[in-house]
Amino acid sequence: MTDTPQDPHSESESQVPDGGRTVDLAIEQELAESYLTYAMSTIVDRALPDVRDGLKPSQRRILVAMNDLNLSPGRKHSKCAGIVGETMKKYHPHGDQAIYPTLVNMAQEWKTRYLLIDKQGNFGSIDPDPPAAMRYTEARMHRHTTELLDDLKLDTVEWQANFDETVDEPRYLPARFPNLLVNGSVGIAVGMACSIPPHNLGEICDAITRMVDEPDLELRELMEMVPGPDFPTGGIICGRRGIVDAYSTGRGRVTVRAKIQQETTPRGRELLIVSEMPYQVSKNEGVIEKIKQQIRNDKLTDIANVVDESSNRAGMRLVIELKRGADPTAVENQLYRLTPLQSTFSIISIALVKGQPRTLSLSELIKHYIAHRRDVIRRRTAYRLMQAQQEAHRIEGLIYAVCDIDEVIRLIRESQTREEAIDKLMARGFRIPPDHQHAPKIPARLLAQSADSPIALTRVQAESIGRLQLIQLVGLEIEHLVANYAKLVEQIEEYESILASPARVDQIVKDETADLKSKYADERRTVIQEGEVGELNLAELTPVERVAVTITHTGYAKRLPVEEYRVQNRGGKGVIGSKSREGDFTEHVFVSSTHDDLLCFTDRGRVFRIKVFEIPEASRTSRGTAIINMLNLQQDERVRAFMPISDFEKGEYFLLFATKKGLVKRTALKDYRNVNSAGIIAVNLKDDDELMGVIWTAGNDHVLLGTRRGMAIRFNESDARVMGRAAAGVKGIDLAGGDSVVGLIKIPEGEEADLLTITVNGYGKRTPTSEYLVQAEDGARPQSRGGKGRRDIVTAGRNGQVAAVRRVTDADSLMLITQHGMVVRVQADTIRQTGRATQGVRVISIRDDDQVTSVAAIREDEDAEDITDQPQADAPPESSEDN
C-alpha cells in the first residue's frame, strides 16, 4: 500500500500530542477573560489597600520584613538596602525600584500623616528633592508600626505561602492602629483607583469608640467627631459639601487651599507668607514655578518677588513679595485661582473587602475596622486560652508527680529506656488523698478530679515529668507549681469569659482604642472653612463705604476712599495725583459703594460683573491693577465700556447696544442681574461684527449713531423695541457699502449739547446735537430708526474718515491718541462750533504716515477739589434714598 503524500504544515497543525486536547475558543471571550484575570490580579495584589490594615501588599511585605529583621523602634537603624533586599528575597520579587520608593513614602511626613517608618538620612523633601540611594539611607519601624504588627504571632491573622513557597506571609496585619482611616491610601488599578484621605487619629478613635456602642450612628453625629480629612501638610478645606458626599457615598471632591498670612515689612512692603501647602502639591515644581510662569504671562502683575525661606527648623515659609500699592487680599485670591495653592482632592474610598473591591462610606470603613478588631481579639484570646490550657495541663501532671515523688522515682529507676519510663508513668494512676501532707496547698479543682478514681497522665504530662531536674523535687517546689497553676486557671477563666461575652470583646476594642489615642493623638492640622469656593460671601467681610474708582485708558483700575480726594486745607486744591505711564491717562472715574456691581462690556458682545470691592485698593499715586487680571477675557478681547450698578431692580432703565455693523438692541437692565464671574453673552454678534458702545437709557432718551464715512442718525430709543438678553438686535442705521459705526451717543431728554467729530487726519468740529433733528411743520423731531441718517462731516479730501464721535460741553477736555502713540490734550471749547456737513478745522497736527485712532474724555483729577464734582462713568442714577 502506498502512503499518500501530505502537506507537512497541515499535518503539524492537526496533530495532537499524546494525552493532550484542543479546545476551540472565541478570541473575544479569551481576551475578555484573560484581561479580567489580569485586572483582578492588579487590583488585589498591587493597587488597592485591604480594608483591615489599610496596606497594599508591597507596604505590608516591607513592614513584615523589617519585623523579621527585628528593626523595632528601640533598635539601631538599618541600611535600607538590607531592608529592600530582605523584602525582595522573601516576599516581594518585583525589584528594588518598586520597593524602595514605597519604603520612602511611608517615611515622608508630608505624605504620611502618621509615619510607619522611622527614617535616618536624606529621604527627599516637599520641594520635591529625590531621596538618596538606599545604600546611604537607614530606617527602622516607627512606634505606629509596632501597633500594626502587635499580636501577629498569636494566630490573629490568616497566612499564605510566599511567591516560592519557602516561607509564609500574613494576608493582612492585626492592625490595632487604624491605618486606613488615619493614613488613607492612594493607588491606581485597572479600571479603578482609590484615593482615601488621611484623618486625625484622635477624632477617628472617638468615632470608633462611639460606633462600637452605636453602629447605626447617623452621618451628622459622626461628622461631629470626624469633621473632615486632616492632611499631613495642613492647609484649609473650603466647605463641607464634598466631605459630606465622600462620607455618605464614598466619593466626593474637596477644595484645599494653602494657609497664607499677610505681613508688612518695616519699610511698608506687603508680604504673603505661605506656611502650609495643599496635600500632594510640591513646593518648587508645583507652586513656585507656576507663580513665576503666571508673572511672565502678565497674569500676576502685582508680585515683585518669590523667595523660599523654608528650613528644617523654621518649617515651611514661602515669601511672596508684593509691589507697592498692591492689595494683598486680591493677590491672594489670584494665587488661589491661578496656581496650585488651591487644588482639588478627589476622595474615592475603594478598598478590598474579603478580596473584593468595594466603595465604602466613612461609617462602613469604621465598621469594617471594628469587625476586624473583634475578630483579632477573639482569635488572640482563643490562642492564649489554648496556650494557658496546655500549660495548666502540663503543670497538673507535675503537681501529681511531686505529690507522689517516691513512686515516680521508683518507676523511672526500674525502666531501661526513656520510652519505657514514659509508658509506666502513663499507665500508673495518680491521686492526691485528702490526708496528703500537701493536700491543703492543692487547688480544690485538682483534689476533686482524683477523689473518685486515679488520674492517668497524658504523654505531654509524662514527658514534662521526665524533664524535671532533681533540684525541682524539693518540697517547696509544690508551692511554686500551685501558684503558677492558680494563675493559669485565673487566666483561663478570664479568656473563657471574654470569648463568651461580645460585650467584653467590645470593651477591649474601646480600651485599646483609648490607649492609642492617649499615646499617639495630636492636634488637627487642616482647618475646615465654612462656605464653598466661589460661594464665600466676601461682601459680608467688606465694610460698606463710598469709594472713588478710576480706570485708565490702558485698563488699569484702582479704588480708594472718597475722603482721600478731599482738599487738605480750606481753599486749597485736591490731592489726587496718579503716576500713570507715559501715554496713559485716567479715562473713567466714578464714585460708588464697595458693594456695587461693575459691568464690563467687551467688543465681542460679552459682559462680566465684578464687585467694586474686588478692585484692589491703592494709593493716590499708584497706577492700579490691570483690569484684565480680574476678567476671564479671551485672546485679543477688549473692554469697550464700564458701568457701575447699585441696584438692577431700581427704576425702568435699559441698556442700549450699538454694533459696528449698525445694529442696535435695547434690553431691560434687570436682565443682566445674574451675570457671573465667567461672563455671559450681552448681545449676539455675527462673526464679522463687534460691539462699539453701550449706554443706559431711561426710556425716553434720544440715541445718535456716528459712522466712519461721516453720517449720523438721531432717533428715539423707543424705536428699538425691548428685546431679550441674547437677541442680536435690529437695524439702527442703514450703512452704505464699506461704512461702519464708530460711536454711540446718548442725548437725554431736554439736555442738548454738542457732537464732537474727529477724523483720522486730525480735523474736527463741534455741532449742536439739535441740528441732527429733522425740521417739520409741527416742529423738530428725530429721524426714524433704520434710515441712512444725515451728513455729519465731509470725509473726502483732507479730512479722511471719522475716527470718533463724542458728546461734549465747553467745560470738557479731550485726549487724542494716534496710531504711532502720539497723545495730545485739547480743550473742547477750543474746537470751533460749525454746522453739519462741513469739513471742520485742524485739531491736531500729525505726520503723513500717522492718523488719529481714538478720542477719550479726560478725567483729570489733579485739578479737582472734590472727586464727586468730576464727570462720572455712564451709569443709571441712584435712588434718592441712597443719596
Query: 590 and 732 share a domain?
Result: yes
Do 488 and 551 lie in one domain? The reply is no
Q: Do the beta carbons of residue 96 and residue 88 sit within 8 Å?
A: yes
Q: How far is CA 4 from CA 7, 445, 856, in A?
A: 10, 92, 104
Assessment of whether the complete model's pTM goes beyond 0.75: no
Write the CB contacts of 366 (distance below 8 Å, at least 6 apart in sequence). Answer: 181, 204, 207, 208, 211
Measured distance CA(448)–CA(446) in Å, rounded = 5
Q: Using the CB atoms, write b or e for 846-869: b if 16+ within 10 Å.
A: beeebbbeebbbbbbbeebbebee
Same domain, 327 and 392: no
Provide the b/e sequence for 1-33 (b: ≥16 CB within 10 Å): eeeeeeeeeeeeeeeeeeeeeeeeeeeeeeeee
Q: What is the dihedral of CA 843, 849, 853, 857, to 10 degrees?
A: -30
Q: What is the DSSP letter of 783?
A: B
Name the residue range of residue 321's domain. Answer: 259-340
Q: What is the reported pLDDT for 229?
A: 96
For residue 39, pLDDT beyond 90: no
DSSP state for residue 722 in the 8-state scheme: B
Burial classification of residue 678, based on how many CB atoms lie within 10 Å of its CB (0-12 exposed, 13-18 middle, 19 or more buried) = exposed
Angle at 408 between CA 404 and CA 411, to 5 degrees: 145
**What CATH number corresponds to the domain at position 758?**
2.120.10.90
Of 162 and 402, the structure prediction assigns the larger pLDDT to: 162
Q: What is the CATH number of the domain that holds 466?
A: 1.10.268.10
Annotated catalytic, 114? no
Question: Once rounded to an integer, what is the mean pLDDT over residues 13-30?
Answer: 70
| 176 in any annotated domain | no
Clarify whether residues 428 and 330 are in a common domain: no
Average pLDDT, the chain: 85
The whole-angstrom separation of Cα 443 and Cα 458 is 20
Look at residue 529 and tell me whether its pLDDT is greater than 50: yes
Q: How many domains does the chain have?
A: 4
Q: Is 84 helix (H, G, I), strand (E, B) or coil?
A: helix
Q: In whole angstroms, give the CA distance from residue 550 to residue 564.
A: 13
Do you find a cis peptide bond into 17, omega within 30 degrees of 0?
Answer: no
For the ranges 171-185, 602-616, 847-861, the one whose mean pLDDT is highest: 171-185
Domain end marker among 453, 474, 500 = 500
Q: Verify that 328 and 402 share a domain, yes or no.
A: no
What burial letters (b/e) apply to 191-200, b meaning 16+ CB within 10 Å?
ebebbbbbbb
User: What is the band of 213 on the pLDDT scale with cuts at 50, 70, 90?
Assistant: very high
Of the residues 136, 279, 495, 672, which is catalytic?
A: 136
DSSP secondary structure code for residue 76 in this structure: P
Picking from 322, 340, 358, the residue at the C-terminal end of a domain is 340
Place of cell 428715539: 716
Task: Identify whether residues 549 and 440 lie together within a single domain.
Answer: no
Is 561 in contact with 632 (CB distance < 8 Å)? Answer: no
- Taking the C-alpha atoms of 791, 792, 794 and 795 in order, what is their torsion angle to the nearest 10 degrees? -100
Q: List phi, psi (to 5°) of 730.
A: -130, 170
Between CA 83 and CA 62 the distance in angstroms is 7
More confident residue, 38 or 697: 697
* DSSP assigned state of 776: E
| Residue 482 pLDDT > 90 | no
- Lowest-pLDDT choice from 140-154, 549-563, 681-695: 549-563
- Nearest Cα neighbor of 352 from 506, 196, 223, 215 is 196
Give every CB contact of residue 543 below 8 A, 6+ residues apart in sequence. 594
DSSP string covering 280-306: T--IIIIIIHHHHHHHHTTS-TTEEEE
Q: Are residues 652 and 742 in the same domain?
A: yes
Average pLDDT over residues 432-450: 75
